[in-house]
Amino acid sequence: MHNTTDMLIELGAIILALGILGRLAGRVGFSPIPLYLLAGLAFGKGGLIPLQASEEFVATGAEIGVVLLLLLLGLEYSASELVTNLKTQYPSGAVDFVLNALPGAAAAILLGWGPVAAVALAGVTWISSSGVIAKVLGDLGRLGNRETPLILGVLVLEDLSMAVYLPILSALLAGVSLAGGTLTLLISLGTVGIVLYVALRHGRLISRAVSSDNPEMLLLVVLGLTLLVAGVAQQLQVSAAVGAFLVGIALSGEVAEGARNLLTPLRDLFAAVFFVFFGLSTIPADIPPVLVPALILAVVTTLTKIATGWYAARRAGIRPAGRWRAGGTLVARGEFSIVIAGLAVGVEPRIGPLATAYVLILVVLGPLTARWTEPIARKLTEAIRRPEPAPAAPAVELVKAVEPVESVEPVEPVEPVEPVEPVEIDVDADADPAPSRS
C-alpha cells in the first residue's frame, strides 16, 4: 500500500510537471521535447530528486508512447500516398540517407564505439522529427506552401525506411547471426509488402470492420489492435514501432480521422512520458564528456539536412527561396532519434547521453533554422551578387595632361621703324571746285 501511494504521488507530480512545462513551451513558441528531456534528467539517477516507486510504470508508459507515436504517424498517410512518394521521391530519400546517416556512423567509429553503435548513431542523425516539423509548419503558416508536400514526402520516406532499418538494428543489437538477421529483414519486408497490398486493395474492408459510431468502442478496438500487432511484431523481432506504423497505414477514411482525434491526447500524454523516461535513464554527469561531439555532430548534420531539403526542392522545380525553407525546416530531430538511442543503450551506454545532448540542441535549433535559413541565404546571395562600387579616380587623373610644346628657334628681334612725320596739305577754301566732266 505504501508503494502504491508513493507511485501515485510520483506519477501525479510527473504529469503535473509535464503539463506546466508544456504550457511554458507553448507560450515561448517552441517544442516541449527538450523540457521533457530536462525533466527526466532532473528526476533520474544522479538528478535532483530521483524517482523510485514509479520507475517501472513510467517504463511501460514509455513503450506505449512509442507505439502511439508511430500509430498516429501511420494514420497521417494512406497506402497510395506512400507508394506515390516512393516512386517520385526516392532519389531525395537516397541523398537524405547518405548525407545524414554517414556523419553519425563516422562519429561512432571515430569515438571507438564499434560497428553496431555506428549503425545506431547513423539512425539517430538520419531521421528528422515529424512531430516537431509538423508543428513548426503550422506555427509559421506554411502548410499551403509549394515546398510543404515535398517536405512531408521526405519525412514519409524516412518513416517508411524505419520498417527496414529498425528490424536490422534490433537484430544487430540482439547479436543475431547473419542468417538470422537476413531472415528478420525478409520477414519485415514481407510484412510491409503484405500490409501495403492489403491496405491498397482492401483498405475499405479493414476500416469498415474497425469502424464504430461509438467513440468508446472505436478507441478500444483501434488501441487494442495496435498493441496486439505491436506485440506480435516484437515477438517476430520486426519492431513494435513498425507494427504500430503499419496499423496506422492500413486504416483510412473516417476511421482514421476518428481514431486520430481520439488518440491524439493519449499519444501526447504517453509521448511526454516516453521523453521523460529517456531522460530518467540518462545520468546527467555522463552528458558533459559527450557534449563537444554532440555539438559538432549537430552543426554538421544541420548543414547536411539543409542541403537535403535544397536538393529535393530543386528536383521539384521550386524556386531558391522555397529550397532554403525546405532545408531549414528538416533540421529538427526528436522522437525517432530518442527511440533508436533507447534501443541501443544496452550495447553502448554512451549513445544515450550523446543522443540526449544532440536532440536537445537540434530540437531547439530546428524551429530557428526553419524561420531564418531563407532570409539569411537571401541576404548572403544579395551581398555576393551586388556589384562593388568603382573606386574613385585619383585627382591627378581628373586633370587633362597638357602635351609639351616643341621648342621653337628664337626669332631675331625686328628693328624699330622710325615714325613718319605727317604731311600737311594746304587746302584753299576759296578755290573753285574742280570742273565737272560732263
Flag whether pLDDT at 20 surpasses 70: yes
Q: What is the pLDDT of residues 386-406, one digit of tens each?
A: 765 656 555 544 444 455 555
Flag whether pLDDT at 407 surpasses 60: no
Q: Band of the pLDDT at 101, cuts 50, 70, 90?
A: very high
DSSP letter for each residue of 326-376: HHHHTT---HHHHHHHHHHTTT-TTHHHHHHHHHHHHHHHHHHHHHHHHHH
Flag whether pLDDT at 63 surpasses 90: no
Q: What is the pLDDT of residues 318-377, one digit of tens each?
A: 999 999 999 999 998 877 788 788 878 777 788 888 988 898 889 888 888 988 999 999
Distance from the Cα of residue 212 to its chain's centroid: 38
Q: Band of the pLDDT at 415, cuts 50, 70, 90?
A: low
> How much of the chain, in percent, has pLDDT values that exceed 70?
78
Contact yes or no for 151/369 (Cβ under 8 A):
no
Q: Band of the pLDDT at 298, cuts 50, 70, 90?
A: very high
> What local confidence, expressed as pLDDT, does residue 169 receive?
82
Which has more pLDDT, 191 or 300? 300
Average of pLDDT values for 420-427?
53
> What local confidence, expressed as pLDDT, does residue 427 receive?
47
> What local confidence, expressed as pLDDT, does residue 436 receive?
45
